[in-house]
Amino acid sequence: MNRRPDPRLQLVPSTQEALDRITCVAGETLDVDVVCASLVDADRNLVVSSYGQSAPAALLLSHAFRKHVSASRRPLVVADGRSDPVMAHNPVVRDGTVRSCVGVPLGAADGRAVGTLLAMDRRPRAWTTRQLVLLGELAVAIVSEVELEDVVRRAPPRDMGLKRMSVSVVPG
């Protein structure tokens, strides 16, 4: 079956820039090694923005964590993956690349799960409620950006009645 990919996974530059700013804010504020925002459609899970690693590297590092958040549709908080029964077997946890992770689902206004926002660190961490709330707020901002782009994309083209305006600058 040759299905068209979900257009939400094809972002315009302004939306991409906004998502990159959001993941950067998450990374700097939480003081973590890697942050990644991913979107999903029926066929794929795509990292649309990352901080600290390239999107392909973030995709590999975050696979098991994203899968868990997407399946449960609940936040994931792992203070130390080595002692977490679900994550201890993960190769990136075993080799020390990722020791701690906090992630939240990205939920659309209509209730659909559209992706995840994850922050990962090589140090064990005691995640605070404040950090989880912050990540949740940034997840809402990501969904808003993606949904705004979707609304604009679906809007019929129309003449905005804008006229060309000439501006003169007077030295002074």
Q: What is the CATH number of domain 7-149?
A: 3.30.450.40
Give 31's contacts (C-beta < 8 A, 6+ positions apart): 121
Give Cα separations from 100 to 79, 121, 143 (angstroms). Answer: 5, 5, 24
Cβ atoms of 127 and 112 within 8 Å: the answer is: no
Who wins on pLDDT, 149 or 89?
89
DSSP-assigned beta bridge partners for residue 119: 35, 102
DSSP-assigned beta bridge partners for residue 120: 34, 101
- Supply the pTM of this predicted model: 0.79
Type of residue at 156? P
Q: Where are the domains of the chain?
A: 7-149
pLDDT tens profile 45-76: 788 898 998 776 777 767 777 777 877 788 98
Q: How far apart are CA 65 and CA 102, in angstroms?
A: 9
pLDDT tens profile 113-135: 888 999 999 999 999 999 999 99
